[in-house]
Structure 1
Amino acid sequence: MARGEPVTVEPVVGEPAAVADLGAERALLVADVHAGVEVGLRYERGVELDSRADARRERLCRLIAETDADRLVVLGDLAHRIGAPDGDEREELETLIRAVTDRVPMTLVEGNHDAGVAETFADDLDVIPPGGGVLDGDVGVVHGHTWPDPSLLDADVVCTGHEHPQVRLEDAVGGSRVERAWLRGELDPAAFTEDGADAVGDARDADPPELVVFPAFNERSGGTWVNVEGQSFLAPYLPAALPHADAYLLDGTRLGDYRRV
């Protein structure tokens, strides 16, 4: 397939979010909001943390305003706990979804934590199934916990979440810190689909999309240390579908090949 003017997915400097033109709409894209993570950590690990629900909601709404977005697209895991939301988590989700949809429409790409959310809030959200889809403007979107629909290979750029990429950075005196990061590189079509090369046409193979792996919006949700040798990835197509990719910090700093950071 011959591509036209390339689509740009532009990160918002300093934020785990990006903007993209979707035909007549300008979209704000985020991944892995994990609303209710504090509730989940309390039940899963017995960890008590003050809720940052208000801060997450206000940050999303501020970004919608600052980027002049016409739509919010969440690349999966809007919620943290798997299953139908209830209690404090449901209250956080209701307030967040209402705050967003009072401003702009909201699209959710269903992630592995979102089956209950998609059903509970079906009247409030546009839901894309787990295999993902291609939005207007040739932007492919998928969460990443399952094999993508092969139609995403027809997009100019594919945006994925689920992985929560992070880099471990060391200083000259042996100290270290972990920061969220973007991964961007040319997608290997044969490694991106469950059927491998059998699902890839010659045109797709000759002109593959760019793959953008989004950092988690929620800083409390952990992640994959992508520059640590032997680290296992979560998405079934990673790292094979991204044989060459650069890592970028949220402030825009380019770190180069993520494996050599």
Structure 2
Amino acid sequence: MARGEPVSVEPIVGEPAAVADLGGERALLVADVHAGIEVGLRYERGVELDDRADERRERLCALLAETDADRLVVLGDLAHRIAAPEGDEREELETLIRAVTDRVPMTLVEGNHDAGVAEAFADDLDVIGGGGGVIGGGGAREADGESSRTGRVAVLHGHTWPDPALLDADVVCMGHEHPQVRLEDAVGGSRVERAWLRGRLDPAAFVDDDGSTAAASGDPPELVVFPAFNERSGGTWVNVDGQSFLAPFLPDALPAGDAYLLDGTRLGDFRRI
């Protein structure tokens, strides 16, 4: 899509990332980088894994170059441990943020794992709060600004109730859920793969702090639930009975959503896979 046309959010084939053309800016969007996950797993569970910090950083930088993006937007959980970053985790974050911001500006939508990250890197990041915000139409801003749907994408992490003003965007993009599907073959073998979820958003699933339901000013936007950028971060098996969703508004906000593998394979309604 050429810049200047209405908004589009298109996944990059084979990658847990998408490009949003916002009229005057092209943004690379990813969710759940979980930098420092190896440090966190060692601290939390005593699990020792090889460090993939360099690989994560190089993948992000390569995607920025391949897509000619003007900005990187992280849909929450840039960091892994739920605490102010320190030690090896902070070192990974410093190196990653410097590598990105040497190329393009970087926006962080605060997630539940990002406590202290925005403060620690206040001079390096544009930050959108946990309730979400809108990018496009001249840059990133909080969701309670004036609403004009053309060329605007709503972004949030998904761990808390969103600002209902996000409904006035064309597309709502979120992370947090780490959607995955378990696939079985004819002889009983199985594998788990990361997946995208996409479909028309049900505004009734967005709830104000006072408990009232929200309503879009026109046709409701599309909801795009991003796979985790970090393949080690686990997630919700959306097609397995008994799995509960993490976001407080899912699955209700996606009554007819389709699942897609990273390679673009459409699996159909995620409830029927």
Q: Tell me if TM exceeds 0.5.
A: yes
Alpha-carbon distance, 1:193 to partner = 2.4
SS of aligned partner of 2:159: coil
Aligned residues: 255
In the TM superposition, 1:1-261 aligns within 5 A as 7-136=7-136, 137-194=151-208, 198-201=212-215, 204=216, 207-261=219-273
Paired AA for residue 174 in structure 1: G
Using the alignment, how far apart are the partners of 2:106 and 2:134 within structure 1? 16
TM-score (norm 1): 0.95
Q: Aligned partners of 2:240, 2:117: CA distance in 1, in Å?
A: 33
Alignment-mate amino acid for residue 183 of structure 1: L
Give, in whole Å, the separation in 2 of the partners of 1:169 and 1:24.
Answer: 40
The one-letter amino acid of 1:95's match is T
Deviation at 1:103, TM superposition (A): 0.2
Gaps in structure 2 of 5+ consecutive residues: 137-150
Give the helix-richer structure, 1 or 2.
1
Between 111-120 and 27-36, report the one with greater CA deviation. 111-120
Q: Which runs of 4+ in 1 moved over 6 A?
A: none
Against the structure 1 CA distance between its residues 91 and 9, is the aligned structure 2 distance closer, same or farther, given a 3 Å change threshold?
same
Give distance in 1, aligned partners of 2:112 and 2:47. Answer: 22
Change in Cα spacing, 1:6 to 1:244, as seen in structure 2 (3 Å) is: farther
Distance of 1:85 and 1:17 partners within structure 2: 24
- d(CA) in 2 for partners of 1:53, 1:189: 38
1:8 Cα offset (Å): 1.2
Distance (whole Å) between structure 1 residues aligned to residue 125 and residue 114 of structure 2:
12
Identity level (%): 85
Secondary structure in 2 matching 1:28: strand
2: CA distance, partners of 1:160 / 1:86? 26
State the secondary structure of the residue aligned to 1:167.
strand
Segments of 5+ residues of structure 1 without an aligned counterpart are: none
Shift of 1:199: 4.0
Measured in 2, the distance between the counterparts of 1:149 and 1:62 equals: 33
Please tell me the residue identity of whatever aligns with 1:25: E
Q: Residue 190 of structure 1 contacts residue 196 of structure 1 at CA under 8 Å; is this kept in 2? A: no
- Under a length normalisation based on structure 2, what TM-score does the superposition of the two structures give? 0.91
Secondary structure of the equivalent of 1:89?
Answer: helix
Matched letter for residue 94 of structure 2: E
Q: CA deviation at 1:31?
A: 0.1
Q: CA deviation at 1:194?
A: 3.9
Structure 1 position 197, deviation (Å): 8.5
Query: C-alpha deviations, 1:107-147, integer Å up to 9, x for none?
Result: 00000011211110011000000000111121000000000
| Cα distance between partner residues in 2 of 1:206 and 1:57 | 39
Amino acid at match of 2:156: V
> Which amino acid in 1 is paired with 2:78?
L
Cα deviation, residue 206, structure 1: 5.1
Given that residues 166 and 225 in structure 1 are in contact (C-alpha distance below 8 angstroms), is that contact kept between their aligned partners in structure 2? yes
Match of 2:223, SS state, is strand
Tell me how far apart the structure 1 counterparts of residues 200 and 210 of structure 2 sit (CA, whole Å): 16
